[in-house]
Amino acid sequence: MNDQNLGRCWIFGDDINTDFLAPGKYMKFSIDKIAEHCMEDVEPRFAREVRPGDIVIGGSNFGAGSSREQAVEVLRHLGVRCVIAQSFAGLFYRNGFNLGLPLLLGPKAPAAPAWGIAPDARAQFDLEQAVLEVPQQGLRLQCTPIPAHLLALVNDGGLVPHLRKRLAARPQPDSKEPA
Partner 1 sequence: MTTPQTLAQKLVARACGRDQVAPEELVTCRVDLAMMHDSGGPRRLKPHLDALGVKVWDPSRIVVVTDHYVPAADADSAQIVRIARDWVREQGIANFYDEQGICHVVTPQHGHIRPGMFAVGGDSHSCTGGAFGAYMFGIGATEMLGVAVTGEIWLRVPHTIAMEWTGRLAPGVCAKDMMLHMCTRFGMDGGQYEAVEYCGEAVRALSMNERMTLCNMTAELGGQAGLIAPDETTRDWLVSCGVPAQELQDLAQWQTDAQAPLLAHHRFDAAALAPQVSAPGSPALGEDARNCGEEKVDIAYIGACTGAKLEDLRMAAEVLKGQRIARGVDLMVAPASARDQQAAQAEGTLQILLDAGARLLPTSCGACAGYGANTFAENTTAISTTARNFKGRMGAASSRVFLGSPYTVAASAVAGRITDPREMLA
Using CB under 8 A, list all residues that contact partner 1.
15, 17, 19-20, 23-25, 27-29, 41-42, 60-61, 64-69, 72, 87, 89-91, 93-95, 98-99, 149, 158-160, 163-164, 166-167
How far apart are CB 8 and partner 1 at their closest, in Å?
24
How far apart, in Å, are the Cα atoms of 7 and each of 90, 113, 152?
26, 19, 24
**CA 153: distance to chain centroid?**
13
Which of residues 12 and 20 has its CB atom nearest to partner 1 in the complex? 20
Nearer residue to partner 1 within complex by CB, 53 or 158: 158
Q: Please report, for residues 65, 87, 173, the alpha-carbon distance to residue 117 in angstroms, rounded to integers and kept in the order given.
A: 26, 17, 55
State which amino acid sits at residue 11.
Answer: I
Q: Which is closer to partner 1, CB of 42 or CB of 119?
A: 42
Minimal distance, residue 76 CB to partner 1, in Å: 11
What is the residue type of 162?
A: H
Rounded to a whole number of angstroms, the minimum distance from the CB of residue 25 to partner 1 is: 6
CB of residue 29 to partner 1, shortest distance in Å:
7
**Cα 50 from Cα 63, distance rounded (Å):** 18
Please count the other Cβ atoms lying within 10 Å of the Cβ belonging to residue 76. Answer: 17
Q: Which is nearer to partner 1, 61 or 78 (CB)?
A: 61
Amino acid occupying residue 119: P
Angle between helices 148-156 and 159-168 (to 10 degrees): 90
Q: Which is nearer to partner 1, 55 or 61 (CB)?
A: 61
Alpha-carbon gap, residue 137 to 124, rounded angstroms: 12
CA distance 101 to 95: 9
Q: In whole angstroms, how close is the CB of 105 to partner 1 at the nearest point? A: 12
